[in-house]
């Protein structure tokens, strides 16, 4: 009897082991296409921002391009700011009680002085490539400006003669911005990158005004010229900027930054004119390209060249446009039409690149 019980126990144990072998297999985390860039007319290439920051981390510069599709510009009769201060708000904006930073800025390790070879033109580089040696290929008498979507400046930029422009991209760069952007580091500073859009610096106008008052506006007394945040060219972008000026009504601004992506030179010109007429400030176009984010056909190479020629001719002739930067001085266009690329695989300019840097 004992032997029979033992055999039964062995049988039951075998069945249990066999059942366990057919149990559920642990699943790995969901595999997602991390390189997919979601696009829409209202939001543009917001995914590009995250990829840019990741790619640039290995090159020190925290590059961050992006923007969105551009609608036809809307007319506006909103009050325009003066060239030094924002307009008085037309509606009751929440009071900003955050004080400006009162701590003394650390002395710069070296005062920035130009080599004397800065270009006399309005052309600039939106440069995500760090201190890459290829930068020398893009310095001409026409090319003056350079920014990197960060407070960081490539080591070779100044010696090549660029007028360097650090940026406070958003909340995640505040510490680096405070450490680097001190008196003598540069002459200009750029504000937040696409604060109207999730996936970019993503701020409310009031929060952006708070940051501006604390970290950027005090630089005016140190000799800096202050360039506003750059919103997307989605319809909400202009509204965000109007609300920002209301919340930052005592702030100082020397120019207005803006982004634009679409396929019509005429629409681009109308959009720039509208922003200038609305805000009454000099204009910096810090990102633009002949790029369709609305699901339609992309520009051909000849259409891109024509678009560039028309827009640069307009901006060179418009006294109120001080600087413009094409999106394309990089190897990986990351979802933007490669016909806009300014950089060849060798690191030298493409045909379009030569057209731009000699504009």
Task: Say which CATH number the domain at 342 has.
Answer: 3.20.20.80
Residue 26 lies in a domain: no
As a whole number of angstroms, the distance between CA 236 and CA 68 comes to 11
Is residue 141, in this structure, part of any structural domain at all? Answer: yes
Q: What is the pLDDT of residue 359?
A: 82
Beta strands in the chain (DSSP E): 123-126, 143-147, 163-164, 188-190, 225-227, 256-262, 283-290, 321-326
**Interatomic CA distance for residues 165 and 186, integer angstroms:** 7
Angle at 231 between CA 164 and CA 171, to 5 degrees: 70
Among the listed residues 228, 219, 192, 221, the one whose alpha carbon sits nearest the alpha carbon of residue 207: 192
Q: What is the pLDDT of residue 68?
A: 38
Q: How many domains does the chain have?
A: 1
pLDDT one-digit tens code per residue, 71-122: 333 333 333 343 445 443 322 222 232 233 323 333 333 333 433 444 459 9
Cα–Cα distance measured from residue 121 to residue 118, given in angstroms and rounded to the nearest whole number: 9
The verdict on pTM exceeding 0.85 is: no
| Assigned domain for 332 exists | yes
* Confidence (pLDDT) at 82: 39
* pLDDT tens across the length of the chain (359 residues): 555 455 555 555 554 444 434 333 333 322 222 222 222 333 344 444 444 444 433 343 333 344 433 333 333 333 334 344 544 332 222 223 223 332 333 333 333 343 344 445 999 999 999 999 999 999 999 999 999 999 999 999 999 999 999 999 999 999 999 999 999 999 999 999 999 999 999 999 999 999 999 999 999 999 999 999 999 999 999 999 999 999 999 999 999 999 999 999 999 999 999 999 999 999 999 999 999 999 999 999 999 999 999 999 999 999 999 999 999 999 999 889 999 999 999 999 999 999 999 98
Asked whether the beta carbons of 268 and 277 are under 8 A apart, the reply is no
Does residue 349 form part of some domain? Answer: yes
Instruction: Give me the pLDDT at residue 67, please.
Output: 41
Has residue 79 been placed in a domain? no
SS3 14: helix
Whether the Cβ atoms of residue 294 and residue 41 lie closer than 8 Å to each other: yes
CA distances from 70 to 224, 261, 266, 282, 318 (A): 31, 6, 12, 20, 21
Q: Is residue 37 domain-resident? A: no
For residue 333, being part of any structural domain is answered with yes
**Phi and psi angles of residue 47, each rounded to the nearest 5 degrees, phi first:** -65, -30
Is the distance from CB of 129 to CB of 149 less than 8 angstroms? no
Range of the domain at 281: 46-73+121-357
- Rounded to an integer, what is the distance from CA 323 to the centroid of its chain? 15
Rounded Cα distance, 323 and 130, in Å? 21
């Amino acid at each position: 009897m004992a032997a029979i019980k033992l055999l039964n126990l062995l049988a039951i144990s075998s069945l249990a082991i066999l059942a366990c072998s057919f149990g559920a297999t642990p699943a790995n985390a969901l595999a997602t296409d991390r390189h997919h860039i979601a696009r829409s007319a209202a939001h543009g290439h917001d995914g590009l921002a995250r990829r840019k920051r990741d790619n640039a981390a290995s090159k020190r510069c925290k590059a961050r391009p992006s923007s969105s599709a551009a609608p036809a510009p809307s007319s506006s009769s909103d009050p325009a700011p003066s060239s030094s201060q924002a307009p008085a708000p037309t509606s009751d904006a929440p009071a900003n009680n955050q004080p400006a930073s009162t701590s003394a800025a650390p002395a710069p390790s070296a005062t920035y002085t130009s080599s004397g070879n800065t270009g006399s033109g309005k052309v600039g580089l939106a440069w995500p490539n760090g201190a890459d040696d290829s930068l020398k290929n893009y310095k001409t008498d026409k090319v003056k400006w350079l920014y990197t979507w960060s407070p960081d400046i490539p080591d070779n930029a100044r010696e090549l003669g660029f007028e360097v422009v650090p940026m406070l991209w958003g909340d995640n760069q505040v510490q680096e911005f405070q450490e680097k952007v001190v008196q003598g580091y540069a002459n200009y500073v750029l504000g937040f990158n696409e604060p109207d859009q999730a996936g970019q610096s993503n701020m409310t106008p009031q929060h952006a005004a708070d940051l501006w008052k604390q970290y950027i506006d005090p630089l005016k007394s140190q000799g800096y010229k202050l360039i506003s945040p750059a919103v997307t060219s989605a319809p909400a972008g202009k509204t965000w900027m109007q609300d920002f000026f209301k919340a930052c009504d005592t702030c100082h601004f020397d120019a207005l930054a803006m982004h634009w992506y679409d396929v019509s030179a005429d629409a681009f010109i109308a959009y720039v004119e509208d922003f200038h007429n609305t805000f009454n400030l000099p204009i910096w176009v810090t990102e633009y390209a002949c790029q369709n984010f609305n699901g339609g056909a992309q520009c051909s190479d000849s259409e891109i060249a024509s678009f560039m020629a028309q827009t640069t001719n307009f901006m060179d002739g418009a006294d109120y446009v001080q600087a413009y930067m094409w999106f394309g001085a990089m190897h990986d266009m990351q979802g933007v039409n490669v016909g806009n690329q300014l950089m060849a695989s060798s690191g030298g300019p493409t045909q379009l690149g030569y057209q731009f840097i000699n504009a």
